[in-house]
Amino acid sequence: MALSKIATNDKHGENSPYFDGWKAYDSNPFHPTKNTQGVIQMGLAENQLCFDLIEEWIRNNPKASICTAEGVNWFKYIANFQDYHGLPEFRNAVANFMSKVRGGRVRFDPDRILMSGGATGANELIMFCLADAGDAFLVPSPYYPAFVRDLCWRTRVQLIPVECHSVNNFMITREALEEAYKKAKDDNINVKGLIITNPSNPLGTTMDRETLRSIVGFINEKNIHLVCDEIYAATVFSAPCFVSVSEVMHEIEHCKSDLIHIIYSLSKDLGLPGFRVGIVYSYNDGVVNSGRKMSSFGLVSSQTQHFLAAMLSDENFVERFLAESSRRLAARHSQFTKGLEKVNVTCLPSNAGLFCWMNLRNLLKEKTFEGEMMLWRLIINEVKLNVSPGSAFGCSEPGWYRVCFANMDDETVDVALKRIRAFVGKETAKPVELKRWKSNLRLSFSSRRFDENVMSPHSPMPHSPLTTLLIFSHSFPTYSNQKSPPKLEICETQTHGVSPVIGLKGCPLYPSIPAFTYDETHFPRTSEMKNKEQLTELRDNLKTSTLLSRRSTTVHVTYKDTESGRIKSRTSMGGHYNSVHQEPEFGPFKEIRIDDDNSWTNLYNMGTLKLQSFIYRYESMGP
């Protein structure tokens, strides 16, 4: 009467040191009055900073609950609802929310949203869809420890780490990817894909556009899948803003969109882990199809779907929540890191997440993982903080620890900081040297010189960071005033879908698209479009144009590059090449003249997107 191999193996990961810390906390939890000497839980990536906003919303919207007098009429319909597609209003609301979190720069098709039991279920589901037992996925280290359970346990898929190092702030390089890929190939392992976490857990950093482009190039070249776990997307609290793969993929020539899959969840961004909302968003029809059937194994309670559909459809609430959450995370992050700096403890510079990646290398008795574990036990037993050692994340260098800061109140953070300062002071006779960090956040264009010689006219994919930069510059000619803007001749445009967007006159069946390309500096986020000056500036910039508005999600454009004479096609936003709605619906365009401030305001109030997404990103590979 034996059990299965899955039941008897250790891949669930609960025997890892990561969980030891939790046990230490469980047996002696800190309480501000009842147990002031207890262990403070800093191993839990929970977002507890904005519950008051949600609670307020609930008080104002009793109808959203099916167990209030106001909402009970919905009970029967909701309790019976078991369609694995999910409530349409829920999927729509999630798609819009995902778009909002990405600054409205991309749109998501509700028909591609698959439900799953939390990101845990979503990650497993995508593995079941993409890989067979024995196949491998590459994963940059350090990575979320439970990936072994989520991605490997029941699927029998294996993970191959792509080693990242502190020397370049743990950025993923093309070389590291190639090396991991080659090693797997040499070992005769079938690599089915790469999974990245952006923003990163445990690093708390976001990936810059160049790195993402390089990654998308890499997986296209190898013809393997790319799973982007973006569950911390809305926790970005300072510049640079979050860049999602859903934006980058549309900027890459010949990107095979059906290789790309996004994992999302409401556990971190909204702080609702109990509700078990996991999302798989795939650009691959086959995955959408079979993944949808698999969601039967982990559907979200219809009660919860109903409630969230109402809350996330309240755009005012969502906007306010996102702005406030980001503000509070920034404040908490600053409180915490500044407190650490007082004793010269540094963290990796970060702009996202619910944690810091703390560097305690200088406190290690020996610079090994044993040394790291020794220090960790000291921190748990003496400092009474449950932090997570880097080795639990598969980090390649000893001495790093992930410290969560959003699952407690300000007072507890101060207690934790006090304890750390006392401990470090005791441990170090002389102050630790404060290391200066290179910025890993974004390539600084002013410090880089545009060098035409690195450009390879025949290579379709960027191979080095420099080439990446070059292409990037090309997409944004305003940055490198060395070339005149590209000349485009629009052949055809198709738009279809349901969400409102704006188009520039001149693109579709209209002549003379203005030959300029705008970027984020010209088109600030919707939420930032507040004052009249900005509106005026925008209007002046575009005074020669007429804007067109219609309800649409996807715009396919075919254009002729007049320099090379090549015909190219582009999907300009939110869309995908293998659209399930192949038939475009042409409806009347509504002309909106931008003569006055009101029309601008109206456009933005309609939930329109930044025009930047609408100008067809032009990538000239030729000389």
Partner 1 sequence: MGIEIEQPCVELSNVAVSETHGENSPYFAGWKAYDENPYDEFTNPSGVIQMGLAENQVSFDLIEKYLEEHPEEASTWGNGASGFRENALFQDYHGLKTFRTAMASFMEQVRGGRAKFDPQRIVLTAGATAANELLTFILANPGDALLVPTPYYPGFDRDLRWRTGVNIVPINCDSSNNFQITPEALEASYKDAEAMNFKVRGVLITNPSNPLGITIPREVLEEILDFVTRKNIHLVSDEIYSGSVFSSSEFTSVAEILEARENRNAERVHIVYSLSKDLGLPGFRVGTIYSYNDKVVTTARRMSSFTLISSQTQHLLASMLSDERFTESYMETNRERLRKRYQMIIEGLRSAGIECLNGNAGLFCWMNMSPLLEKPTREGELELWNTILLQVKLNISPGSSCHCSEPGWFRVCFANMSEHTLEIALQRIRDFMARIRTETETESA
The H-or-E segment that residue 130 falls in is helix 118-130
The H-or-E segment that residue 6 falls in is helix 5-8
Residues 194-213 that bind partner 1 (CB under 8 A): none
Q: Which residue in 23, 31, 185, 293 binds partner 1 (CB under 8 A)?
A: 293
Q: How many CB atoms lie within 10 A of CB 456?
A: 14
Q: Which residue in 248, 300, 538, 603 binds partner 1 (CB under 8 A)?
A: 300
* CB of 599 closer than 8 Å to CB of 592: yes
β-bridge partners, 386: 41
C-beta of 409 vs 597, nearer to partner 1: 409
Distances (CA, A) of 544 to 421, 513, 539, 589, 604: 60, 11, 9, 18, 19
Candidates 75-83, 202-210, 336-344, 495-503 — which segment interacts with partner 1 by CB under 8 A?
75-83
Q: Which residue in 24, 106, 129, 360 binds partner 1 (CB under 8 A)?
A: 129
Residues 153-182 that bind partner 1 (CB under 8 A): 153-154
Position 239 contacts partner 1 (CB under 8 A): no
Residues 537-596 that bind partner 1 (CB under 8 A): 556, 558, 569, 577-578, 582
231 is catalytic: yes
Candidates 118-126, 227-235, 426-434, 544-552 — which segment interacts with partner 1 by CB under 8 A?
118-126
- The least distance separating partner 1 from the CB of residue 133, rounded to whole angstroms, comes to 7
Position 130 contacts partner 1 (CB under 8 A): yes
Backbone angles phi, psi at 355, to 5 degrees: -160, 165
Position 132 contacts partner 1 (CB under 8 A): yes
* 473 conformational bin, left if phi > 0, alpha if psi -120 to 50, beta if neither: alpha
Q: Which residue in 296, 439, 544, 601 binds partner 1 (CB under 8 A)?
A: 296
Pick the catalytic residue from 20, 135, 229, 269.
229
CA 443-237-465 angle, to 5 degrees, is 15
What CA–CA distance (Å, rounded) separates 510 from 547? 11
Position 497 contacts partner 1 (CB under 8 A): no
Q: Which residue in 149, 384, 496, 610 binds partner 1 (CB under 8 A)?
A: 149
What CA–CA distance (Å, rounded) separates 333 from 356? 8
260 is catalytic: no
Pick the catalytic residue from 66, 78, 195, 231.
231
Query: Which residue in 446, 375, 299, 314 sits closest to 21, CA to CA?
Result: 375
Query: Which residue in 45, 75, 70 sits closest to 60, CA to CA?
Result: 70
Residues 268-287 that bind partner 1 (CB under 8 A): 271-276, 284, 286-287
Q: Which residue in 93, 131, 228, 461 binds partner 1 (CB under 8 A)?
A: 131
Position 288 contacts partner 1 (CB under 8 A): no
What CA–CA distance (Å, rounded) separates 252 from 619? 8
160 is catalytic: no
How are beta strands 385-386 and 40-41 bridged, if at all?
parallel
- The least distance separating partner 1 from the CB of residue 82, rounded to whole angstroms, comes to 4
C-beta of 16 vs 546, nearer to partner 1: 16
What CA–CA distance (Å, rounded) separates 497 from 519? 24
Position 112 contacts partner 1 (CB under 8 A): no
Structure tokens at 460: 């379709």
Pick the catalytic residue from 100, 256, 268, 568.
268
The H-or-E segment that residue 356 falls in is strand 355-359
Give, rounded to a whole angstrom, the gap between the first and last alpha carbons of the chain: 69
Q: Which residue in 23, 32, 35, 79 binds partner 1 (CB under 8 A)?
A: 79
Backbone angles phi, psi at 458, to 5 degrees: -105, -10
Radius of gyration, CA atoms only, the chain: 25
Residues 426-455 that bind partner 1 (CB under 8 A): none
Q: Up-side HSE of residue 471: CA atoms within 13 Å toward CB?
A: 27
Position 229 contacts partner 1 (CB under 8 A): no
Position 217 contacts partner 1 (CB under 8 A): no
Q: Which residue in 303, 396, 464, 599 binds partner 1 (CB under 8 A)?
A: 303
| Residue 515: exposure state from Cβ atoms within 10 A (0-12, 13-18, ≥19) | middle
Position 232 contacts partner 1 (CB under 8 A): no
Position 509 contacts partner 1 (CB under 8 A): no
Residues 10-39 that bind partner 1 (CB under 8 A): 12, 14
Backbone angles phi, psi at 386, to 5 degrees: -90, 95
Position 5 contacts partner 1 (CB under 8 A): yes
Position 53 contacts partner 1 (CB under 8 A): no
- The least distance separating partner 1 from the CB of residue 545, rounded to whole angstroms, comes to 24
| Residues labelled as active-site residues | 144, 229, 231, 268
